[in-house]
């Protein structure tokens, strides 16, 4: 369970000095829902959340994932989350900031995950997305790819795919593409 200290939420208050009202930024419904989601996160030990812009910008955060099994074991992958103001009615925009050789993540960091697209529903939450991303590393899906070369290799030549993933994790070239070490 993640414990986050959010302080007090104040919409406005009277001051003794001038008996006036001091306006304080109201939180949108999306911010309130996101605050609840983050407070209730139940992350695996191999995942971590950070707020690079500080606690005043909850709508933009990063998740790091370090799979403990599968092809991507021991790699560390950083994802940026940009949560829209009308969250949870729209899913967050998620990008992989770590260049990775993966069937479901293209070389620009776009992520193919059903709960970020057609299967998103307002009852889903940030925890659901994080577990979905984690699952992409333990069970990559070659049936719905963004990186078709990686998907074809996984399906047709799993040993070559595994060697290429290891090369990318350690830092090296796959064809003309260079991958920095993420181990």
Do the Cβ atoms of 153 and 162 come closer than 8 Å? no
**Ordered strands of the 60-65 beta sheet:** 47-50, 60-65, 77-82, 93-96
Beta bridge partners of 78: 64
Q: Which of the residues 47, 112, 142, 182 is marked catalytic?
A: 112
Sign of CA dihedral 145, 151, 156, 162: negative
In terms of Cα–Cα distance, which of 20, 28, 89 is closest to 59?
28
Beta-bridge partner residues of 67: none
> Can you tell me the distance from the alpha carbon of 169 to that of 26, in angstroms, rounded to the nearest whole number?
44
Q: Establish whether 142 is a catalytic residue.
A: no
* Maximum CA extent, the chain: 74
- CB contact at 8 A, 138 and 67: yes
Q: CB atoms < 10 A from the CB of 150, how many?
A: 25
- Which positions are annotated as active-site residues? 112
């Amino acid at each position: 369970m993640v414990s986050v200290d959010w302080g007090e939420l104040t919409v406005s208050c009277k001051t003794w000095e001038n008996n006036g009202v001091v306006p304080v930024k109201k939180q949108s419904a999306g911010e309130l829902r996101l605050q609840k989601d983050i407070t209730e996160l139940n992350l695996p030990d191999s995942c971590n959340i950070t707020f690079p812009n500080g606690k005043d910008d909850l709508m933009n955060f990063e998740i790091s994932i370090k799979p403990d099994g599968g092809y991507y074991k021991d790699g560390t992958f950083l994802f940026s989350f940009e949560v829209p103001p009308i969250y949870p009615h729209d899913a967050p925009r998620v990008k992989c900031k770590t260049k990775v050789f993966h069937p479901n993540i293209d070389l620009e960091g776009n992520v193919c995950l059903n709960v970020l697209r057609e299967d998103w529903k307002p009852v889903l939450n940030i925890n659901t997305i994080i577990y979905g991303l984690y699952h992409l590393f333990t069970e990559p899906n070659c049936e719905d790819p963004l990186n078709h070369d990686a998907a074809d290799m996984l399906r047709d030549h799993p040993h070559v795919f595994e060697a290429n993933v290891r090369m990318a994790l350690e830092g090296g070239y796959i064809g003309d593409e260079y991958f920095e070490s993420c181990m």
